[in-house]
Amino acid sequence: MQTPYVLHYAPDNASLVVRLALDEMGQRYQTKLVDRREKAQDSSAYRALNPNGLIPVLETPQGPIFETAAILLWLADTHQQLAPAPDSAERANFLKWLFFASNTLHADLRILFYAEKYIASGQAETLRTGIRPRLRTHLQNLEAEAARSPRWLQPDHPSVLTYYLAAMMRWMQLYPTQADKSWFQLADTPHLHHILTRLESRPATQTAIVAEGLGPNPFTSPILPNPPEGSAL
């Protein structure tokens, strides 16, 4: 059966967020592995979809879309799910936090995970040490917003932002694999912790657990993935 979407993914990469959103929406899609061990993201075929060589790409009837937040917002608006409607009073607040998650939190996480791409390798740990206080501040700001309990940041009414944050908080606990993780404690953000706990029982999360080998508690007690195909690194 033909499906409207093809998700180009690698296990436990940003494509995980798009997979979670598609499954939460009940949308049909196919997946196509971008094998990072073979550097498939640098191939001419993949660069034709995303000239930046980053994962994910979602192929749609309107053409390929890249950038995680762009994909999420496009899906939410196209299917009128997982985000406040454009005319909702909640829309502006939702959008500012969605783009904070994408442009600030996720961008700073990339510095933590891939410091060697931003600075000489001998200074990478210094850069990581410097970025961790920023990340803690970002999480406290998000915790304060979660305490207000807006509809789009609740576990029983997940939004694309809810799943985006859950995935990033998973990665904070795992990557980089050999680095100090003591800077991040779920207990410091109890409202966000509650959201992550509840999300783990949702069908979309259970589907992702099987598809990407994420382990039984992928957000609150994550383990390194053991995917049936491909590699997270």
Q: Is residue 168 part of a domain?
A: yes
Residue pLDDT tens, the chain, 233 long: 468 999 999 999 999 999 999 999 999 999 999 999 999 999 999 999 999 999 999 999 999 999 999 999 999 999 999 999 999 999 999 999 999 999 999 999 999 999 999 999 999 999 999 999 999 999 999 999 999 999 999 888 899 999 999 999 999 999 988 888 889 999 999 999 999 999 999 999 999 999 999 999 999 999 999 999 998 88
Q: Is residue 16 part of a domain?
A: no
For 175, other C-beta atoms within 10 Å of its C-beta total 19
Q: Is residue 130 part of a domain?
A: yes
C-alpha to C-alpha distance for 226 and 12, rounded to whole angstroms: 10
Residue 57 has φ and ψ, to the nearest 5°, of -130, 140
Q: What is the CATH number of the domain that holds 182?
A: 1.20.1050
Alpha-carbon distances, residue 161 vs 12, 16, 18, 176 (angstroms)? 17, 13, 11, 23
C-alpha to C-alpha distance for 132 and 177, rounded to whole angstroms: 15
Tell me whether residue 214 is exposed, middle or buried, using C-beta atoms within 10 angstroms of its C-beta: 0 to 12, 13 to 18, 19 or more.
Answer: buried
C-alpha to C-alpha distance for 37 and 34, rounded to whole angstroms: 9
Are 204 and 24 in contact by the 8 Å Cβ rule? The answer is yes
Q: Is residue 145 part of a domain?
A: yes
Q: Is residue 55 part of a domain?
A: no
Q: Is residue 164 part of a domain?
A: yes
Which residue segment(s) compose the domain that 142 sits in?
91-202
Q: Is residue 120 part of a domain?
A: yes
Are 223 and 8 in contact by the 8 Å Cβ rule? The answer is no
Tell me how many domains the chain contains.
Answer: 1
Q: Is residue 109 part of a domain?
A: yes
Are 179 and 189 in contact by the 8 Å Cβ rule? The answer is no
pTM above 0.85? yes
